[in-house]
Chain A
Amino acid sequence: NAGVTQTPKFQVLKTGQSMTLQCAQDMNHEYMSWYRQDPGMGLRLIHYSVGAGITDQGEVPNGYNVSRSTTEDFPLRLLSAAPSQTSVYFCASSIRDRGSGYTFGSGTRLTVV
């Protein structure tokens, strides 16, 4: 049981480049979310999804796109990377149950130069 798998683990981009952070879960979880973690700011929600075909914006969505074509996958796209997007990105998933916590992936450390 792999849980939540994120790829890549590390990435360096040049300003203006695009890339997709991958997230996959094998637990049949309905809910999936993307967070970014920055020192002193905790985890901030970028986008989330309550099921295939349904996505919504979180606290800091600008500069990021998501889609959810399947239950398992929830990729995060950076269309034109900026240095302000240098961060550690975590994907998380959860079942629909109200009392359930989220299971987190191991993170992607992204540096934009």
Chain B
Amino acid sequence: AQSVSQHNHHVILSEAASLELGCNYSYGGTVNLFWYVQYPGQHLQLLLKYFSGDPLVKGIKGFEAEFIKSKFSFNLRKPSVQWSDTAEYFCAVKQYYGGATNKLIFGTGTLLAVQP
């Protein structure tokens, strides 16, 4: 079965520090990759997604992620974090069987705390 690993469970950074959150998945076939953010007390919002083409994708609020197929990875980055980036971040993978769209599987999440 497909699995998604987020190795950083809790990250604490100071404002203006750079951010990189790891995400690895287990499926070797065709996948779509997503990063979602959940601000305190809110529901999940889509940050960015990879479908095909350029493996470096840019999302909202200055976030970007790089798809490295050989490493089964889709790490999230931001050059300079702000206090308002404090949230929980989830990596998710959508896999395909026989060309049919399949379900979205999430990692366990990374809680980011940005100190002013």
Contact = CB atoms under 8 A, between A and B. Distances in A.
Interface of A: 31, 33, 35, 40-45, 48, 50, 58-59, 90, 92, 94, 96-99, 101-102, 104-107
B94 interface: yes
Contact of A104 (B44, B96, B101): B44
Contact of B101 (A41, A50, A92): A50
Contacts of B43: 90, 104-107
Contacts, number: 57
B101 A31 contact: yes
A98 B104 contact: no
Interface residues of B, number: 24
11 contacts: A33-B103, A41-B108, A42-B106, A42-B109, A43-B109, A45-B105, A90-B43, A96-B101, A99-B32, A101-B49, A104-B43
A31 B32 CA distance: 16
B69 interface: no
